[in-house]
Amino acid sequence: MDLRDQEAVERLVRSRPFDLVLHMAAQPIVRTSIEDPVGTFAANIMGTAHLLQALRSQPDLAAALVITSDKVYANNEEGRAFREADALGGKDPYSASKAAAEIVTQSFARSFFNKAGVPVGTARGGNVIGGGDFSRDRLVADIVRAARTQSQTVLRHPEATRPWQHVLDCVAGYLVYLERLASDPAAPRALNFGPRPGGAEVTVGELATRATQALGAQPWRHEPDPNSIEARALGIDASLARQVLGFESRLDAPTAVDWTMDWYRGQAEGGDALSLVRDQISRYEGLR
pLDDT digits (tens, 9 = 90+) for 57-94: 999 999 999 999 999 999 887 778 899 999 999 999 99
Specify the 3-state DSSP secondary structure of 282: helix
At residue 199, does pLDDT exceed 70? Answer: no
Residue 254: the pLDDT is 87
Task: Tell me what percent of the chain is helix, strand and coil, each rounded to the nearest 5.
Answer: 45, 15, 40
At residue 226, does pLDDT exceed 80? Answer: no
Residue type, 184: D
Say which CATH superfamily domain 6-285 falls into. NAD(P)-binding Rossmann-like Domain (3.40.50.720)
Q: Break the chain into its structural domains and give their ranges.
A: 6-285
Specify the 3-state DSSP secondary structure of 125: strand
Residue 136: the pLDDT is 85
Residue 198: the pLDDT is 66
pTM over 0.95: no
At residue 230, does pLDDT exceed 80? Answer: no
Q: In the predicted model, what is the mean pLDDT of the chain?
A: 93
pLDDT band, residue 200 (cuts 50/70/90): low
**Which residues face 132 on adjacent strands?**
none
